[in-house]
Amino acid sequence: MSRFVLLSPNGEFDQKLRAAVANGLRGSVQTIASDILPAGPQELFALLNQEQPEVLIIGPDVPYEEALRFAKVFDVQLPGLSLVLVSDVDPAHLLNAMRAGIRDILSPQADAAEIRVLLERACQSFATRHRAPEAQGETNGKGLVIGVFSPKGGVGKTTLATNIAIGLGRIAPMSVVIVDLDLQFGDVASGLYLNPEHTVTDAVTPAAAQDSLVLKAFLTVHPAGIYALCAPLNPVDADHITPEQVSRLVEQLSHEFQYVVLDTAPGMPEIGLAAMEHCTDVVWVSAMDIPSLRGLRSGLEVLRQLDIMPESRHVVLNMADAKAGLNVRDVESTIGAPVDVSVPRSRAVALSTNRGIPVLQESKRDPAVKSLRQLVERFNPAWRAQAQRKLHRRVVI
Ligand SMILES: Nc1ncnc2c1ncn2[C@@H]1O[C@H](COP(=O)(O)OP(=O)(O)OP(=O)(O)O)[C@@H](O)[C@H]1O
Ligand SMILES: [Mg+2]
């Protein structure tokens, strides 16, 4: 059964839509390549030879008035369907379109990323209206929860977390969410060049805590096919968020996503520890200087004392530099643990932070990119199955 149905004789747009779906959305597209719209749902279903799709896209080349007439019929007879109009509609007519039941409007010039984001939103709206009562609870399957931590600040947690999320988005499009748990000074939004409408503040309200579909409506879609939940815009709001709320949030997201990536504040604040209890994987980051390495050693010891032991640990040495006067054996003996991945200091990475485009989004040729890919690979089920017994490998810097 096709999730998306396109009504349009425009072959070029048809191809663009198919490419956008194939590159990141579940389900397929069926096209009715005629400029005569079906009279109503029964006629449409007969043409499609299937039951109700989730999203109906009224393509370019359908006259605006005709599209509105059609939308009104469908809105009355099939109110759950998400209708998307592809048109350069004059803003003055937008209200008419909304009144006719059009859910969203897509420009005919939209690129694949924009099409994907909009279709994902339309599917979410379909799901919200069609959920069965049993679907309101949680499902049994749980995703990986990957937390990025370090006792010291400025060692590259946000850089790693955003790259892990973008990298995993390639393996599992629309199945990854990154959450900024550096609630006061988080910069995931800036690292991903996002301007979020909603933040963690909304995501921990009772309405969202009780219903994961409400929670999902507060996530921001990133054009690379991942979701983000950014830190509160005002640091004062962060004070009102409790470790219990964060714990519930992470638990909920782990039931909804294949991968939940957590960026955290430096040190071991209560919020971070609450989140760590849900982590299947902890990425420990250290820069290549003695204070940062010693900090990591103490951090690992504290966790041992607190008996918090996530299933898998990945030690990342970031900003590795052969000229720092330390070699990997010095590093490992200072931390008291083997290094799993070493990410070299790189200009491309420093630049990417300022541009808000993680290096893995652009697939640049850079030594740091190679290491970041290795790190992402550790969360790929195929790699894990092979390497489960030797998760810790010595690296060379
Ligand atoms: N491998 C690298 N090479 C060069 N620069 C890097 C590298 N990793 C991170 N940086 C730079 O270091 C700075 C700090 O990185 P980042 O913000 O990711 O650290 P952080 O641990 O999240 O900091 P905070 O503790 O303040 O949240 C950024 O400007 C980033 O571009
Ligand atoms: Mg940070």
> Is residue 319 domain-shared with residue 376, that is, in the same domain?
yes
Kindly report the protein residue whose alpha carbon is nearest to atom 8 of ligand 1.
156
Task: List, run by run, the mean pLDDT of 10-residue segments along the chain (397 residues).
Answer: 88 92 86 83 79 87 86 81 88 81 89 86 73 42 92 96 96 93 97 95 95 90 93 94 97 95 95 94 94 92 82 91 86 91 96 96 90 95 68 52
Whether the CB of 368 sits within 6 Å of ligand 1? yes
Residue 341's DSSP bridge partners are 316
> Is residue 9 domain-shared with residue 25, that is, in the same domain?
yes
Would you state the pLDDT for residue 129?
A: 67
Would you state the pLDDT for residue 128?
A: 64
Would you state the pLDDT for residue 57?
A: 94
> Is residue 166 domain-shared with residue 106, that is, in the same domain?
no
Kindly report the protein residue whose alpha carbon is nearest to atom 14 of ligand 1.
154
- 251 lies in a domain? yes
Instruction: Please report the beta strands in the chain, taking only residues with DSSP state E, as ranges in sequence order.
Output: 4-7, 29-32, 55-58, 82-86, 104-106, 144-149, 176-180, 220-222, 226-229, 259-263, 281-287, 312-320, 341-344
> How close is the Cα of 121 to the center of ligand 1, in Å?
32
Of 142, 380, 179, 143, nearest to 262 by C-alpha is 179
Would you state the pLDDT for residue 394?
A: 52
Kindly report the protein residue whose alpha carbon is nearest to atom 5 of ligand 1.
350
Domain boundary among 130, 145, 160: 130
> Is residue 259 domain-shared with residue 337, that is, in the same domain?
yes
- 392 lies in a domain? no
Contacts 24+ apart (CB under 8 A), 322-327: 322/397, 324/288, 324/289, 326/288, 326/290, 327/397
Would you state the pLDDT for residue 46?
A: 80
- 397 lies in a domain? no
Domain boundary among 82, 97, 130: 130
> How close is the Cα of 266 to the center of ligand 1, in Å?
12
Would you state the pLDDT for residue 131?
A: 56
Burial label for 20, CB within 10 Å (0-12, 13-18, 19+), is: buried
Domain region containing 86: 4-130
> Is residue 232 domain-shared with residue 149, that is, in the same domain?
yes
> Is residue 123 domain-shared with residue 194, that is, in the same domain?
no
Whether the CB of 153 sits within 6 Å of ligand 1? yes
> How close is the Cα of 155 to the center of ligand 2, in Å?
8
Q: How many domains does the chain have?
A: 2
- 190 lies in a domain? yes
> Is residue 183 domain-shared with residue 300, that is, in the same domain?
yes
> How close is the Cα of 26 to the center of ligand 2, in Å?
32
Q: How far is CA 5 from CA 52, 152, 181, 327, in A?
A: 10, 51, 39, 58
> How close is the Cα of 324 to the center of ligand 2, in Å?
23
> Is residue 236 domain-shared with residue 287, that is, in the same domain?
yes
Which atom of ligand 1 is nearest the CA belonging to 153? 25
Domain boundary among 88, 107, 130: 130
Whether the CB of 3 sits within 6 Å of ligand 1? no
Whether the CB of 216 sits within 6 Å of ligand 1? no
Instruction: Please report the beta strands in 168-255, taking only residues with DSSP state E, as ranges in sequence order.
Output: 176-180, 220-222, 226-229
Query: Do 126 and 218 form a contact (C-beta atoms < 8 A)?
Result: no
Ion ligand 2 — residues with CB < 5 Å: 157-158
In sequence order, the 6+-apart residues with CB closer than 8 A to the CB of 110 are 118
Domain CATH number, residue 28: 3.40.50.2300
> How close is the Cα of 251 to the center of ligand 2, in Å?
22
> How close is the Cα of 265 to the center of ligand 2, in Å?
6
Query: Do 88 and 107 form a contact (C-beta atoms < 8 A)?
Result: yes
Would you state the pLDDT for residue 70?
A: 86
As given in the structure block, the two tokens for residue 198 are: 């909603």
Whether the CB of 155 sits within 6 Å of ligand 1? yes
User: For a pocket test of ligand 1, which of 158, 162, 296 has the largest count of ligand atoms closer than 8 A to its C-beta?
Assistant: 158
pTM exceeds cut of 0.75 = no
> How close is the Cα of 198 to the center of ligand 2, in Å?
19
Would you state the pLDDT for residue 163?
A: 98
- 233 lies in a domain? yes
Would you state the pLDDT for residue 120?
A: 83
As given in the structure block, the two tokens for residue 378 are: 């550790």
Whether the CB of 196 sits within 6 Å of ligand 1? no
Domain CATH number, residue 299: 3.40.50.300
> Is residue 125 domain-shared with residue 142, that is, in the same domain?
no
Whether the CB of 154 sits within 6 Å of ligand 1? yes
